[in-house]
């Protein structure tokens, strides 16, 4: 079985730009969650998608948005990038909420 794949692995963007991060779920997993991990901190929940619908959201502004596709892959979009958006973005896929498999993350740097 394949794991969770995220792309790109690293990205540098300028403040005010928009970015799209991608995640391919583990085979058989219908739920995908996104987390932001700032340097030296634990991951923070951004939102979760289940069968193409957002069904949970953390304390992040609307400029953080997402999509889930019929094959359960997902995108995280961030508009109007700010310096504080610099972080490791982690995608996790799961099924029934008990088995979360994380990808290796996308390191976003905003300059």
Partner 1 sequence: AQSVTQLDSHVSVSEGTPVLLRCNYSSSYSPSLFWYVQHPNKGLQLLLKYTSAATLVKGINGFEAEFKKSETSFHLTKPSAHMSDAAEYFCVVTTNTGTASKLTFGTGTRLQVTL
* Least CB distance to partner 1 at residue 43 (A): 5
Within 8 A by CB and 6+ apart from 75, the residues are: 20, 21, 22, 23, 66, 67
Q: Nearer Cβ to partner 1, position 41 or 77?
A: 41
Contacts of 14 (CB under 8 A, 6+ apart): 81, 110, 111
For partner 1, which is the closer residue by CB, 16 or 99? Answer: 99
- Shortest Cβ 89–partner 1 spacing (Å): 11
For partner 1, the binding residues (CB under 8 A) are 33, 35, 41-45, 48, 50, 55-58, 90, 92, 97-98, 100-105, 107
Distance CA 73, CA 110 (A): 25
15 vs 42 by CB, closer to partner 1? 42
Residue 65 CB, shortest distance to partner 1, in Å, is: 16
d(CA 6, CA 9): 7
């Amino acid at each position: 079985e394949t794991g969770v794949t995220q792309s790109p692995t690293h990205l540098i963007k300028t403040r005010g730009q928009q970015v799209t991060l991608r995640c391919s779920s583990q085979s058989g997993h219908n739920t995908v969650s996104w987390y932001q991990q700032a340097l030296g901190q634990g991951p923070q929940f951004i939102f979760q998608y289940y069968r193409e619908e957002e069904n949970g959201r953390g304390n992040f502004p609307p400029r953080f948005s997402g999509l889930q596709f019929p094959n359960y892959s997902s995108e995280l979009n961030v508009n109007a990038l700010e310096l504080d958006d610099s972080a490791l973005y982690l995608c996790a896929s799961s099924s029934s909420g008990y088995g979360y498999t994380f990808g290796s993350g996308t390191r976003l740097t905003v300059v």
